[in-house]
Amino acid sequence: MNILEILKSKEFVSGNTIGRFLGISRAAAHKQINFLRQIGYTINSSPKGYALINDKVLFNEYEIECNLKRNLKVCKILKYYKELASTQISVKNLAEKNFDEGIIIIAEKQTNAYGRIKRKWNSNEGGLWFSILLKPLIRPEESSKVALILSIALNRTLKEYKVDSEIKWSNDVLVNDKKIAGILVEMSAGQDRIDWLVIGIGININNNTLPKELKNTSISLKEILGKEIDRAAFLASFLISFENIYDDFQNKGFSFFSDEYNDKLAYKNKSITIDDGYNIISGINLGIDKDGKFIVKTTNGLEKIISGTLRLNQ
């Protein structure tokens, strides 16, 4: 429990009560109250104690933890920054220092963010930009499946908001054929084990100032629903969904999710082209198999692909 959860639980809360819950002195509680005021919260004082005035929706680690309501293995340490060069680089630096699984770094704005093949990732204020450190008990060749289960978690979260989304293999989520989210997986591994995975996720939430070149291909949740979205609540819902999927994935394998993935797959049975970094493969999108491999029906037979960039043929 953090101080914000205590303030939200009652109309008025005394300094002594806050101190008792948190195991700190009344003076320390007052210091935390002043810090919350500095970062944007309206908190009134009276002889009855402190009262939180919910007159604005803020986004920070306090709000996210309040929405989580329980500890998660995928979210043991949560840090929010107003601006970073890249959350991905920040988490990779921690991974190299052998930090444990479950670190999440979030940035309001990134100045040097990147996606697959080091493409520049636009990340203005209002979006949801974060990276997660994971250490799954899987073989290195299975790392691409983590992007697939993350896509499923995003789909489930968007469904909670009554938004129907699709997965564009291998790392994008679409709404109305426009990109709302992207996933990047980077790893360090030995011959038969993964040392760490760093997952970068970007979701267009309230950032309605998309660059001109992205207007026709990208969309935000605010644009879809016509209202401002509580990003802390959205992120908490995603992390809870992903925690459950992540556990099942490690215990039951990807085959447990293959039908759900195929049900949400974009461009199923359509003519597509894939660049896997070595070859250009064209054919019909047949979806993924139980092992998470993408199947393309070509003129020469079936091709099974682990990763690549997909384009719909017009």
CA–CA separation, 109 and 261 (whole Å): 31
For residue 211, what pLDDT is reported?
A: 63
- Give me the amino acid identity at 265: L
Q: Which pLDDT score, from 0 to 100, does residue 236 have? A: 97
Q: What are phi and psi of 83, to 5 degrees?
A: -155, 140
Give the per-residue pLDDT at 10. 79
The topology under which CATH files domain 267-312 is: SH3 type barrels. (2.30.30)
Predicted local distance difference test score (pLDDT) of residue 165: 97
CA distances from 278 to 78, 110, 302, 305 (A): 38, 31, 17, 11
Helix (H, G, I), strand (E, B), or coil: what is residue 150?
helix
Phi and psi at residue 217, in whole multiples of 5°?
-120, -10
How far is residue 303's CA from residue 309's CA, in Å, rounded to a whole number?
A: 15
**Which residue spans of the chain are classified as CATH 2.30.30.100?**
267-312
pLDDT at residue 113, as a whole number:
80
Residues of the chain with CATH 3.30.930.10: 61-262
pTM of the model: 0.90
- Can you read off the two tokens belonging to residue 188? 């360090």
The predicted pLDDT at position 206 comes to 94
Q: Which pLDDT score, from 0 to 100, does residue 246 have? A: 96
User: From the first residue on, what is the mean pLDDT of each consecutive set of 10 residues in the chain (314 residues)?
Assistant: 83 89 90 90 90 85 90 94 94 96 96 75 87 94 93 97 96 95 93 92 85 78 95 97 95 94 96 91 96 95 92 90
Tell me where in the chain the CATH 1.10.10.10 domain(s) lie.
Answer: 3-53
The domain defined by 3-53 folds into Arc Repressor Mutant, subunit A (1.10.10)
d(CA 183, CA 130): 10
CATH architecture of 61-262: 2-Layer Sandwich (3.30)
3-state helix, strand, coil in the chain (%, to 5): 35, 30, 35
